[in-house]
Structure 1
Amino acid sequence: MEFTGGGRLEIRVTSADVGKRVSVRYVTGSGEAGGMFTDAVGVLTSWDDRVLLITRRTGEAVRIAESSLVAGKVVPAAPARRRGPSATFPELARATARAWEPVESEALGGWVLRASDGFTRRANSVLPLGDPGLPVAEALAYARQWYADRKLPAYVQAATGAEGTQELLCAELDRLGWRREVSAEVRIGALAPIGDLDADVSAVRLSRAFDGTWLRRYRRFGEPGPAVRALLTSGPSVWFASVAGPDGVPAAIGRCVVDGRWAGFMAVEVAPELRRRGLATSVMTALARRALDEGASAAWLQVEADNDGARALYDGMGFAPHHHYHHYRWAEA
């Protein structure tokens, strides 16, 4: 990482660069007694009261005292990914949203307020994909009341880590008292290699519908209400996969939504006692082959940042991180 100009370290960032991607070097600890150089790369989301706030790709916010800076510069957006499909953040954000349509929604300028009786944060959060037409604080106040009217907690889903994502909004949410509750990666990959995997798909049953036993393996809710069924069947072209289990409950399940060139994989679940036997791979391979038949060529999925087992599986299938998304909850007094 080169910061020098004519052999000297230079600080070539200012408060006028808020909103740009920067790389800085700063001193941690005591600069006079054992301080160490540390680098930070991310979006400069604020520079107030002699403190910089840099939001990294993962959404982690780093606060740096102006006095500790030793070098810094504006850097271009991360280079395009060399493997798998290309995708802009707006395209992918809209495709993922169409695969999980809420029961109720309302547009607020370029924001969408979504509610589904509390089933999943994705379907019960604000999706900000443009200008709300109001100052952000006013738009958030409107959203808080909208969710309060439905007796739901107020959430905002915001993204970091790709060109066009929402680092500035994340910083504003934090400043206004919203707290990040959970984060996940959106990963993308080419679809054909998944369909070409040498997996046993003979036991995988594909269907346009699901039954009560499929829901028993899903286990993401208590008693399934109308919102659960409505959400799971939403999307342009929806497929459900299941592998029969010994007790009448599927040993493995999965869901895939085909939408133009995209195939989105969700709800891939395997019975705990049957994991690491290739069942998840078989389910995804069978769904990928069906999506290829419908003309899809690219795949996406979402995985929580702490799910190491799933991340390893998807690494092996060729999925690479595209961006991170975070759910911010209003921290009520």
Structure 2
Amino acid sequence: MTPDSRRLFAALDATWPPARLITDGPWTLREGRGGGKRVSAATANIPVTETDIATAEAGMTTLGQQPLFMIRQQDADLDHWLDAREYSVVDPVVMYLFPVAALADPQPMTAIVPTWPMLAIQRDLWQMAGIGPSRIAVMERAAGPRCALLARHKDTPAGVAFVAADGAIAMIHALEVVPSERRSGVARRAMKAASQWAADNGAEWLALAVTRANEGANALYRGLGMTEAATYHYRLAPGVGP
């Protein structure tokens, strides 16, 4: 059975986990510790009222975080209320899904090297792409099967990605290709290797989340046959930079 959006968001939390998940009334709060919006945004567990917003704002302030909400397709009322409070829309995201059997393809070790723990060169490549220690810590918190992929092109480190499994769903995160190696097939080979790793670890589906603004990545995923399975965006408190 194809996973629904609720199952996809659960896999997102499992494979790219915050430092803490906190239930506060109708809300789930995430303690991000500098790991980015995905691990810092609040979400509604049940339909909320406008007066419930203050509870989430207070909880995030207590965590030392700026108020930030993840708005999914079922959160239209919350989106409207936050808009009225001048919360800005940040990073509209699309989540893609694909059966791993349709993409899995063993890649030669000369092209893709799967490792865990991650190697120093992988940390360096992520650092060059702006993915520093706080996001590396997110990867290291993932409790299920996980893997760091090192992509090579012409015997040169060319890219890196993180993939982790939550039952039948594996998610790929932080796929980065060295600028000089883009359009050389590195990302496509990494996706095939991630699907193969997912199949080898019992997953049936490969999923990922990417901003709509990343036109190149969206074109790649659609070209691989991945389909849009869910969307979300963030609402950031007024006066706070993205």
Give the structure-1-normalised TM-score. Answer: 0.65
CA distance in 2: counterparts of 1:186 and 1:102, whole angstroms: 19
- Report the Cα offset of residue 272 of structure 1: 0.6
CA distance in 1: counterparts of 2:137 and 2:15, whole angstroms: 12
- Report the Cα offset of residue 110 of structure 1: 4.2
Aligned residue for 2:103, secondary structure, equals helix
Map of 1:232 onto structure 2: 139
CA distance in 1: counterparts of 2:203 and 2:21, whole angstroms: 28
- Report the Cα offset of residue 145 of structure 1: 2.4
Map of 1:181 onto structure 2: 90
Could you tell me whether the CA contact under 8 Å between 2:67 and 2:237 is conserved in 1?
A: yes
Distance 1:154 1:240, change over 3 A: same
Could you tell me whether the CA contact under 8 Å between 2:110 and 2:155 is conserved in 1?
A: no
- Report the Cα offset of residue 117 of structure 1: 1.9
Q: Which amino acid aligns with 1:142?
A: T
Aligned residue for 2:93, secondary structure, equals strand
Q: In terms of mean alpha carbon deviation, does 305-314 or 202-211 score higher?
A: 202-211
Aligned residue for 1:263, secondary structure, equals strand
1:266 matched to 2:173: yes
CA distance in 2: counterparts of 1:98 and 1:294, whole angstroms: 15
The CA deviation string for residues 182-233 of structure 1, in whole angstroms up to 9 with x for no partner, is: 2110111111111048x65642111122133212222454752xx4333112
Distance 1:256 1:181, change over 3 A: same
Distance 1:209 1:110, change over 3 A: farther
- Report the Cα offset of residue 150 of structure 1: 3.5
Larger Cα-atom Rg: 1
1:124 matched to 2:32: no
Map of 2:209 onto structure 1: 302
The correspondence for 2:189, drawn from 265, 282, 285, is 282
Q: How many residues align?
A: 238
Map of 2:124 onto structure 1: 216
- Report the Cα offset of residue 151 of structure 1: 3.1
The CA deviation string for residues 223-260 of structure 1, in whole angstroms up to 9 with x for no partner, is: 52xx4333112142111100247898x31111111111
The correspondence for 2:113, drawn from 205, 208, 211, is 205
Map of 2:200 onto structure 1: 293
Q: Which amino acid aligns with 1:186?
A: M
Could you tell me whether the CA contact under 8 Å between 1:252 and 1:280 is conserved in 2?
A: yes
CA distance in 2: counterparts of 1:247 and 1:283, whole angstroms: 15
Q: Which amino acid aligns with 2:96?
A: R
Q: Tell me, which stretches of 5 or more residues in structure 2 are unaligned?
A: none
- Report the Cα offset of residue 264 of structure 1: 0.6
CA distance in 2: counterparts of 1:237 and 1:293, whole angstroms: 11
Distance 1:284 1:309, change over 3 A: same
Could you tell me whether the CA contact under 8 Å between 2:160 and 2:177 is conserved in 1?
A: yes
RCO greater where, 1 or 2, for CA within 8 Å and sep 6 or more?
2
Distance 1:205 1:255, change over 3 A: same
Q: Which amino acid aligns with 1:178?
A: Y
Distance 1:221 1:277, change over 3 A: closer
- Report the Cα offset of residue 107 of structure 1: 0.6
The CA deviation string for residues 251-279 of structure 1, in whole angstroms up to 9 with x for no partner, is: 11111111111111111111111111111
Give the structure-2-normalised TM-score. Answer: 0.88
The correspondence for 1:331, drawn from 235, 238, 241, is 238
CA distance in 2: counterparts of 1:196 and 1:229, whole angstroms: 27
The CA deviation string for residues 41-72 of structure 1, in whole angstroms up to 9 with x for no partner, is: xxxxxxxxxxxxxxxxxxxxxxxxxxxxxxxx
Map of 1:242 onto structure 2: 150
CA distance in 1: counterparts of 2:62 and 2:18, whole angstroms: 17
Map of 2:102 onto structure 1: 193
Tell me which protein shows more helix as a share of its residues: 2
Q: Tell me, which stretches of 5 or more residues in structure 1 are unaligned?
A: 1-84
The correspondence for 1:252, drawn from 146, 150, 159, is 159
CA distance in 2: counterparts of 1:282 and 1:174, whole angstroms: 41
Q: Which amino acid aligns with 2:237?
A: W
